[in-house]
Amino acid sequence: MNKKYKLKLNCFCESKNSKLLFYYKKKPNKETDFKIKKKEYFRKYKICKICKHVYGEHNINLKNLYNSEYLNSTYNDIEGMKKRFLYVMNLPYKKSDNKQRVKRILNFLKIHSQFKVKNLLDVGAGTGVFAKSFINKKWDVQAIETDKRMVQYLNDLGIKSTYADITKYKNNKKYNLITFNKVLEHVEKPYELLFAIKKFMTKKSILYLEVPDMIAYKKGKQREEFYIDHHHVFSISSASILIEKLGFKIIKIERIIEPSGKYTIYLFASL
């Protein structure tokens, strides 16, 4: 193991008062196989005793995971992504995380009518299901991805996409809605991403994000909320602390169980 890649991820409330939550010597049964050698698969999750944030510690190099290996391991290839896209787009409302997410956002914007939403910046667009749903509703959508093949795939779907690290992305445009759907847990320093998008916002812009909910720990260590690609698993408190430390104002924050069974925290915030 290379000590260079050792991750020591601290809680956002900056407390050092934590305890061991889970310990792994092998991957959970349904975790994607990222071709990590068995002898190197050692990791643990700690939980903050103060704000209940859960964070991972390990020596495994995940640096390039989202540049190529994530697509290869999760979808096999672009054709696999297309199949997943069609499957999810055709799910009925009651079984679709995405359709309920879209409705949740649109309902919020109806209530908070002072936010005149016309365009969307979707950071980490994945298979493009969410972005395409808004394009179908005549929105101007810009997607950001860190895998060139995914960018090409999204553009082929009719989703305007850019290959970029959002912390280095240069664009003078302002967006009315910026979204991170199950993205922040995949990065060591999510505050860097959130700080970076402030320059694309105005006082009338809305930030929407979803993250895995630590309450899933009650169901055990095999839950997908605790798979290796999740550096962070949030609590209501830790999500609030992170957002507010960056100067955002939380308008609404809730925890839900999605149709897929995922334990999720979502929030709306503004500057």
Domain count, the chain: 1
Identity of the residue numbered 116:
K
**28 in a domain, yes or no?**
no
**89 in a domain, yes or no?**
yes
**20 in a domain, yes or no?**
no
Q: Are 143 and 155 in contact (CB under 8 A)?
A: no
Q: If we measure between CA atoms, which residue out of 268, 116, 250 comes closest to residue 206?
A: 268
Reported pTM = 0.91
CATH number for 183: 3.40.50.150
**41 in a domain, yes or no?**
no
Cα separation, 34 vs 27, in Å, equals 10
> Which residues have a Cβ under 8 Å from the Cβ of 74 and sit 6 or more positions away?
32
Q: Which domain does 135 fall in, by range? A: 66-270
**31 in a domain, yes or no?**
no
What one-character-per-residue DSSP string does 214-259 give? GGGGGG-TTSGGGSTT-SEEB-HHHHHHHHHHTT-EEEEEEEEE-T
**24 in a domain, yes or no?**
no
Provide the residue-wise pLDDT of the chain in tens; the chain has 271 residues: 334 334 455 789 988 899 999 999 999 999 988 888 888 899 999 999 999 999 999 888 776 555 555 545 555 567 888 888 999 999 999 999 999 999 999 999 988 877 777 899 999 998 999 999 999 999 999 999 988 888 999 999 999 999 999 999 999 999 999 999 999 999 989 999 999 999 999 999 999 999 999 999 999 999 999 999 999 999 999 999 999 999 999 999 999 999 999 999 999 999 9
**213 in a domain, yes or no?**
yes
pLDDT for res 253? 98
Cα separation, 154 vs 66, in Å, equals 15
Helix residue ranges, H only, 125-204: 129-135, 148-156, 190-196
